[in-house]
A and B are shown apart, each in its own frame.
Chain A
Amino acid sequence: MAESSPLTLAHARHLLRRTGFGATAAEARSLSGRFATRGAAADSLLGFKPSRFRPGGRYIDDVHNKWIAYMAKTRLQLQEKLVLFWHDHFACSYDKVGDLDLMRNQNRLFRLNCKGDFAALVKAVNKDAAMMEFLDTVRNRRNEPNENYGRELQELFTLGVTDLLGNPNYEQEDVFQIARAFTGWTYDDKGVAEFRNGRHDYQSAYPERGPKRIFRTTGGFGANGADYTTAGEGPQEIDTVIDVILQHRYGPGLRNTVADHIAYKLITFFAHPSPSLSYVTDVVDASGFAGNWSIAGLLKQIFVHDDFYLSAGPASAGTPKSVKWPVDYAVSALRLLRMKLHGRYQETQGGSYASIRDHLTNMGQVLLEPPSVFGWDWELAWMSSSALLARYGYARDLIASRDGGAGSFQPAKVLDARVFDLTDAGAIVDAVADVLGVDLAAAERAALINYLTNNAPAAAVDLRDPDTADRKLRGLFGLLLQSPAFQLQ
């Protein structure tokens, strides 16, 4: 059984890398030393108590930067990976919301609910003021229903457009009927949702209260669909809608649609982009997610499954890799190099002196301002020439930081002192690759040896010479951060 499978050192590093932002060799040794099995390690990672952190600051740049700084600093790495996931899943942009406090509140909402009850999370998002602004719940009126939230609730947050077998999960009538249930909501000056019966009380062919029936043709509810007003009308209706959606089933075995959809998406985030169907069904069945809705329980099964470790080794045809998100790339580089960004604008100090927010903008990911309700496009969409160039520039800025203090990169801080006594170029390359957790193929290793020795591979390298160490060691770190292999995990 996967849960009791022994935790190898390589698997420990993979697990930490995927559940946090970068993993050092020392962290991996510590985890594998403390826990003998995958199950015990996963329990340990998932055992945290969510923090109440809420990013402060006067402007959106500050809020953004404080969140990034927290990711780089906190020991609750998995918590922040999850907040990032939910921020993408329930994508919501300051660009439309226009209120910093509402964005901050939502950020903390994701943190407090990051691994708890999924049903409670969706119900909380229903009433989250930032989301009510972003998807127009506050503009959804009884005689002119605004379908924005009703559609995305189904398409993105819970069911998906189709089930995993490719069949539609809902139809336009369901969008419309659910939109009707969400009328009457607004929020007070503290950002707390409130229901005002008859708030939009003018004449209409579509009374906002009254019978509603959804999923007549989908969801395994039978020909009559699901009548969700029998449980009562009024403010509780929007909770009831979620309860009904969570009953939606598909396929010959009538599997739970939402459970499989959310499990699929979490797997594509934490493991790899094209999981087998059995990986999805195994973890849903083993965790009982389709009923207990425990996110932590589901995550544990994802982390102990054999398929989770398919992507642990060096990239090859049979090793399905994920592209690091820009935030993951930026924060993990900081943690692996043991350096901090500088000042209120969280700048890099060695080259462009750009703020982290500008770096991430160029890489294609500005937190709190996702491009649309779909969140960001993942995987190879991150790997355009301009986005890659932004990563190359960020890497250069980090390794060229020499100003001293926490904002500078000092190779001696991350390399064992004995490395500086090495004269063999191959051994030096291996030591640096180990710091960054890159598994080098032979051709990549040869290219870096050639770089170190200026194309004289047999030549000795003298790192005790300060000029050589500063020039070539920093250069080596930079090339590895820029290498195709480091973009993947």
Chain B
Amino acid sequence: MAITRRQFLRRTGLATAGALFGPGLFRSPWLQQAMASTIGDRYFIVLFLDGGNDGLNTVIPVSGGSTIGSGAKGLRALYEDARDNPSTAGGIRILNPLVPTPGANAPAMLDPNTGCQLGFHPGLASLRDMYEDGMVAVLQGCGYPEYNLSHEVSRRIWQRGTPLSALGSGWMGRHLATAGYLGSDIPAVNIGSSVAGEYQQTATSVLVFDRLQDFGFPYDDAYTGDNGAKNAAFTALCTAALANDNPGMQYIGGTGNSTLTATNAYPALHAQYLADRRPWSRRYSGDNPPGLNTSTARGFREIAKVIYGVARGMLPSSLSARFFELANGGYDTHSSQGASETNGGHYRLHAEVADAVKLFYQDLADMASGASMGSGLADLPNKVTVLVWSEFSRRIRQNDSGTDHGSQGPMFVIGGADAINGGVYGNHPNIDPNDASNGIDDDGNSRYSQSNANPQRSTDFRDVYGTIMKHWLGVANPQPLLPLDSDLGYSGPHYWTAANFNLGFLP
């Protein structure tokens, strides 16, 4: 059967567990060697904006610049056409985007294609601040060929790193599996309730938790003297499951074992973090001083704890996680998206994420201050990058009080000023609904009527992934992990047939 693009992506079943890593493609010895991890003393965080973030009201045209495509209007005028809806209360036009002041580390925020001045949504004040400090790379127009408007399908495409269904594993999962981590290692931690799609694989362990402090094994307090016997029996049950031929039993046995290992190490780390850094901990969620107290901030605090422990060498090397994931939900703003008011739905989402990221980097800088050279804490902000993505952006035209599903959108790479090259990369999408010559629908896809048109991508998201792998994770050639569409047996005219893993946002 020919590979079809929009394969039915069934819910992950037990049978899939054994096949998550696909057909032997990544198992050859030369590849293992080529992929040897050189992340060294760095860290990498994926932040997922779940639901489809409205990119047009994230990175916003402000003024100036040339007309776009063959149309007659500039980006700002087109933006106002799409989003200015005076007849409807709760329209979502943004009146006052935040324009960063250029500085030593930060170039002016201009669209590379048209020269239009760009700004951030008013909720993104903290991101604007970080941009001015040279800590934010804005990657506009990120998408993939023949975009899909289903949350589930598009999310999987991004997580697996391919619009073709040939690969069952996640793009970061493939990296972990080929970087030589073993089943007994825990190289990655996901904040949440289940392993994120980009980390799926079966070679090594990805730990998932909401709060480090809850991560102790529950014993019957009436007989603490029996704990050792229970621990041994539980370990033996998990080991027996690992030897079972059933892939589900293997998976649960392996997860059970690594969970038990972590329950011995993580609560101690939490206690140490609190003892050393309680004032900073409170800034994430405390009452005095008032902390941000959002789920995103609390998630970043858990990551900060683990990084603190790893950097100080408090965890065994097998538990020294360097890869993380967290998500913020609620971006499916079909309604109640809100304008620039601070109580608008989109404003709150933006502020939650931007404020949490800014606080996190302040925390990292504080951990690094005074640390001696050679310490794992030294220069910490420049050792951590955050990749921000969403499964799609939203429709150019708003509906009554929100926006429906769309195509490409902006990504962000955030990191220390010396770690990344801040600025704007990739072109703002052409949002002119009358510019037929530019093929408003991605690849001129006739499935989508003009009335529902979505703009073309300017950047394939896999080039972003590849740039991170090559320039941050030290993978000399990421292409086997991010195979071209043509490598996977599909070579239509619009497909991704040439990789560019040097997009420039990482040195």
Contacts and interface: CB of A to CB of B under 8 A. Distances in A.
B208 interface: yes
Interface stretch (A4-12, A241-249, A371-379): A371-379
A377 B263 contact: no
Interface in A160-178: 160-168, 171-173, 175-176
B149 A471 contact: no
B194 A474 contact: no
B370 interface: no
Given A383-B255, A484-B256, A389 B215 contact: yes
A484 B217 contact: no
Interface string A458-479: 0000000000001110110011
A414 interface: no
Contacts of A384: 190, 193-195, 208, 255
A400 B221 contact: yes
A316 B245 contact: yes
A268 interface: yes
B249 A139 contact: no
Contact of B334 (A146, A388, A485): A146
Interface stretch (B269-277, B289-297, B396-404, B466-474): B396-404
Interface string A476-489: 00110011110110
Given A364-B193, A450-B232, A385 B258 contact: yes
A286 to B, nearest CB: 23
Contacts of A441: 240, 244
Interface string A126-170: 000000000010010100111110010001000011111111100
A386 B258 CA distance: 11
Interface string A308-345: 00000001110111110000000000000000000000
Given A166-B7, A317-B246, A374-B152, A387 B237 contact: no
Which of A167, A316, A444 has the most chain B CB within a 10 Å cutoff?
A444
Contacts of A155: 150, 152
A1 interface: no
B163 to A, nearest CB: 13
Which of B9, B11, B15, B447 has the most chain A CB within a 10 Å cutoff?
B11
B263 A389 contact: yes
A443 interface: yes
Which of B6, B218, B223, B448 has the most chain A CB within a 10 Å cutoff?
B218
A210 interface: no
A443 B15 contact: no
Interface string A363-398: 010000001111001111111111111001101110
A294 B258 CA distance: 46
Contact of A396 (B219, B329, B335): B219
A385 B149 CA distance: 32
Interface string A437-457: 000010110111011001100
Contact of A172 (B149, B195, B229, B329): B149
B490 interface: no
A397 B221 CA distance: 10
Contacts of A371: 329
Contacts of A147: 334, 404-405
A484 B253 contact: yes
A113 B253 CA distance: 39
B284 to A, nearest CB: 19
A168 B6 contact: yes
A482 B256 CA distance: 9
A274 to B, nearest CB: 4
B207 interface: yes
Contacts of A272: 13-14
Interface in A231-259: none
Nearest to A162: B8
Contact of B246 (A145, A315, A378): A315
Given A172-B149, A475-B226, A386 B220 contact: no
B373 interface: no
A387 B223 CA distance: 25
B371 interface: no
Given A155-B150, A166-B7, A171-B447, A386 B14 contact: no
A385 B232 contact: no
B465 interface: no
A386 B7 CA distance: 31
Contacts of A268: 10-11, 13
Nearest to B6: A168
Contacts of A450: 232-233, 236
Interface in B208-254: 208-210, 214-215, 217-223, 226, 229-230, 232-234, 236-241, 243-246, 248-249, 251-253
Given A166-B8, A389-B214, A273 B400 contact: no
Contacts of B252: 323, 383, 388, 484, 487-488
A274 B13 contact: yes
Contacts of A173: 447-449
Contacts of B4: 162, 166-167
A191 interface: no
A399 interface: yes
Given A166-B1, A176-B452, A379-B13, A321 B6 contact: no
Contacts, number: 257
B151 interface: yes
A166 B210 CA distance: 36
B335 A380 contact: no
Interface string B10-47: 11111111000000000000000000000000000000
B154 to A, nearest CB: 11
Contact of B13 (A171, A172, A273, A485): A273
A196 interface: no
B248 A323 contact: yes
B259 interface: yes
Nearest to B336: A139
Given A273-B13, A315-B248, A478 B220 contact: yes
Interface in B187-207: 190, 193-195, 205, 207
Nearest to B252: A484
Contacts of A395: 218
A170 to B, nearest CB: 10
Contacts of A166: 1, 4, 6-8
Contacts of B334: 136, 139, 146-148
A351 interface: yes
Given A171-B447, A447-B237, A475-B220, A383 B251 contact: yes
A29 interface: no
Which of B12, B194, B255, B263 has the most chain A CB within a 10 Å cutoff?
B194
B451 interface: yes
Contact of B12 (A364, A381, A470): A381
Which of B51, B258, B401 has the most chain A CB within a 10 Å cutoff?
B401
Interface of A: 136, 139, 141, 144-148, 151, 155, 160-168, 171-173, 175-176, 205-206, 268, 272-274, 315-317, 319-323, 350-352, 362, 364, 371-374, 377-389, 392-393, 395-397, 399-400, 402, 441, 443-444, 446-448, 450-451, 454-455, 470-472, 474-475, 478-479, 482-485, 487-488
Given A172-B149, A482-B237, 9 more contacts: A146-B399, A162-B6, A167-B4, A273-B15, A315-B249, A371-B329, A386-B210, A389-B209, A447-B233
21 contacts: A148-B404, A161-B150, A163-B8, A176-B451, A272-B13, A273-B11, A351-B221, A380-B16, A381-B195, A382-B194, A385-B205, A385-B262, A386-B193, A387-B193, A396-B219, A447-B237, A475-B226, A479-B237, A482-B237, A488-B248, A488-B252
Interface of B: 1, 4, 6-17, 50-51, 88, 149-153, 190, 193-195, 205, 207-210, 214-215, 217-223, 226, 229-230, 232-234, 236-241, 243-246, 248-249, 251-253, 255-256, 258-259, 262-263, 329, 332, 334-335, 398-402, 404-405, 447-449, 451-452
10 A-B pairs with least C-beta separation: A273-B13, A447-B236, A317-B245, A384-B208, A443-B240, A484-B241, A274-B15, A451-B233, A386-B209, A162-B8
